DNA sequence: TATCGACATTGTGTATACAATGATCACGAC
DNA sequence: GTCGTGATCATTGTATACACAATGTCGATA
């Protein structure tokens, strides 16, 4: 594995799990030493992170980890909505019926069995992979990848609550079955509803966290 | 100006205007020598072009200029439609009325006067800038920038015809006035129509070019 | 005491040198 | 004659050295 890949993976992970908090200044020399690579591959890693939007060059002198505030989340979800609604419509038109019917069934099972959180996230991931595959659009796929990269941090901010998780499973089931039925409008609207609910929950959780920290 | 910026600008320009044709292999040493920079900044430039999707690392050994075929154009326009419809809707909700009313008026004037091609492209560019500004969404803006970068090459493939240009001005006028009126649905649908017409023209022009070259 | 200037320190931008990997060509064996 | 194996060569990946720019601090002067 290339040193630049290792550096990118390490920095990405550190930023996503919060080890490198927003606002942290990433000096080339410093990070190169920390990760055990030289400055050249580290610069490449930083450039990739900058392209992803996870770090930003504030001045030629300082590269910092980007912040995640409520307005960023708004922007991210506006973008996400545009992409995922388009994706859902395309999938409804193009997807082989069987694939998403099977996924809908699995979402149904997950609800009934009440499987744990990991199982759900795994199922969601497979749903995303299938979606990317049937959409057959590298631009959309690439943009969705960016969105998902940022979502990892957003999810970390808002604690996931079990009620929301159950609702989310049910919403996914509807989206999958709409795609399976070839109903583009329903797939689009169900996606819209899903994202609206997800955003509402996240913002509420964020407000709660602010109030708590304010009270503490 | 940084050497890496110069290299990026030079390569971008060369790719967009066709001096570096699709499929061209870009060796680091070779291009560094050609552009008069060392390999380090050139690598950075190549990385940025790869992030833009204008070049691709086929193997760790060869970086080539990406091809533009009909399927790529389909993908690009699916993506563009998702972004621009979302952008039009957001603008209709958020834009100060006056700004886009003025733009609509200018599009109207352009039609009447029959101003030349450069004036139209200039007006379009200002429309895009205004759109980006009122949308206030860095993710959307960044994705739209990528789309526009690719569109430059697509436009080169299809020769622009005057009839289409006139229609395009008229379509833009409607989009601008819909945004000015705060009518999100109309702005979205007018954008949809505009992109449909643009794509149709491009694909037709592409077919024509193929037949001609086949006949020649 | 406050402000301006100069110098030092730190960190990035670029170049170049070195190491490693992959490809190609030639030679030999089957 | 063809296939396989090895060696050489080119090209990338990484490291390091050097140059330049920016910022901060210290001192001197007003």
CATH classification of the domain holding B204: 1.20.120.530
List, as own/partner pairs, every contact residues A191-198 make where C-beta atoms lie below 8 angstroms and the sequence separation is at least 24, other chains included. Answer: A191/A81, A191/A84, A191/A85, A191/A87, A191/A88, A192/A81, A192/A85, A194/A168, A195/A77, A195/A80, A195/A81, A195/A84, A197/A164, A197/A167, A197/A168, A197/A171, A198/A77, A198/A164, A198/A168
A192 touches chain B (CB under 8 A): no
pLDDT at A216 over 80: no
Number of domains comprising chain A? 2
A61 CA: nearest nucleotide by C1': C12
Three-class DSSP category at A54: coil
| Interacting residues of A32 by C-beta distance below 8 A, sequence separation 6+ | A7, A38, A39, A42
C-alpha A114/C-alpha A119 separation (Å) is: 10
Name the domain boundary from B21, B39, B65: B65
**Bases of chain C with protein Cβ within 7 A:** 11-17, 22-23
Question: A11 is in which domain, residue-wise?
Answer: 3-65
**A191 and A122 together in one domain:** yes
Q: Cα–chain-centroid distance for residue A54?
A: 13
Cα nearest neighbour of A83 on chain B: B82
What tens digit of pLDDT does each residue of A15-38 get? Answer: 999 999 999 999 999 999 999 999
CB-based contact B143 A79, cutoff 8 Å: yes
**A107 and A60 together in one domain:** no
Which of B143, B139, B144, B100 is closest to B123 using CA atoms? Answer: B100
B59: domain CATH number? 1.10.10.10
C-alpha A114/C-alpha A111 separation (Å) is: 5
Q: What is the DSSP string of A90-123?
A: HHHHHS-HHHHHHHHHHHHHHHHHT--HHHHHHH
* Nearest CA distance, B84 vs chain A (angstrom): 9
**B167 and B79 together in one domain:** yes
Q: How far is the CA of B35 from the C1' of D17 (A)?
A: 23
What tens digit of pLDDT does each residue of A89-146 get? Answer: 999 999 899 999 999 999 988 865 655 677 888 899 999 999 999 999 999 999 999 9
B181: which 2 tokens? 């009126």
Share of chain A above pLDDT 70, in %: 93
**B98 and B25 together in one domain:** no
Name the domain boundary from B13, B35, B65: B65
**A106 and A130 together in one domain:** yes
**B94 and B47 together in one domain:** no
Q: How far is the CA of A142 from the C1' of C22 (A)?
A: 29
Name the domain boundary from B65, B85, B110: B65
A147 touches chain B (CB under 8 A): yes
Three-class DSSP category at B21: coil
Q: Spell out the per-residue pLDDT of chain B, length 216, in tens.
A: 889 999 999 999 999 999 999 999 999 999 999 999 999 999 999 999 999 999 999 988 899 999 999 999 999 999 999 999 999 999 999 989 999 999 999 998 886 665 567 788 889 999 999 999 999 999 999 999 999 999 999 999 887 788 888 899 999 999 999 999 999 999 999 999 999 999 999 999 987 766 666 544
Whole-number pLDDT of residue A2: 87
Whole-number pLDDT of residue B212: 67
pLDDT band at A212 (very low <50, low <70, confident <90, very high): low
Whole-number pLDDT of residue B111: 65
Which parts of the protein come within 7 Å of strand C, by CB position? A 27-30, 39-40, 43, 60-63; B 2-5, 37-41, 44, 59-61
Q: How far is the CA of B25 from the C1' of D26 (A)?
A: 55
Residues of B in contact with A146 (CB under 8 A): 139
C-alpha B36/C-alpha B3 separation (Å) is: 9
Q: How far is the CA of A71 from the C1' of C15 (A)?
A: 42
Whole-number pLDDT of residue A116: 66
CB-based contact B43 A44, cutoff 8 Å: yes
**A47 and A129 together in one domain:** no
**What crossing angle do the helices spanning B184-215 and B70-94 adopt, rounded to 10°?**
160
**B17 and B75 together in one domain:** no
pLDDT band at A213 (very low <50, low <70, confident <90, very high): low
Give the mean pLDDT of A70-78.
97
A7 CA: nearest nucleotide by C1': D14
């Amino acid at each position: 594995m290339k040193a630049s890949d290792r550096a990118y993976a390490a920095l990405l992970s550190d930023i996503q799990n919060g080890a490198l908090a927003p606002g942290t200044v990433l000096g080339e020399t410093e990070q190169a030493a920390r990760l055990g690579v030289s400055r050249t591959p580290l610069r490449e890693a930083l450039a990739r992170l900058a392209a992803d939007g996870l770090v930003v060059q504030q001045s030629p002198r300082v590269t910092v980890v980007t912040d995640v505030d409520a307005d960023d989340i708004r922007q991210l979800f506006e973008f996400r909505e545009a992409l995922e609604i388009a994706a859902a419509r395309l999938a409804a038109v193009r997807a082989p019926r069987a694939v998403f019917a099977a996924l809908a069934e699995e979402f149904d099972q997950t609800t009934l069995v009440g499987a744990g959180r990991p199982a759900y996230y795994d199922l969601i991931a497979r749903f995303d992979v299938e979606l990317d595959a049937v959409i057959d659009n590298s631009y959309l796929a690439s943009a969705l990848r960016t969105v998902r990269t940022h979502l990892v941090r957003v999810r970390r901010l808002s604690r996931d609550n079990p009620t929301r998780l159950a609702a989310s499973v049910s919403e996914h089931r509807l989206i999958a079955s709409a795609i399976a039925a070839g109903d583009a409008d329903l797939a689009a609207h169900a996606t819209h509803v899903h994202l609206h609910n997800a955003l509402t929950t996240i913002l509420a959780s964020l407000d709660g966290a602010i109030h708590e920290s304010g009270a503490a």
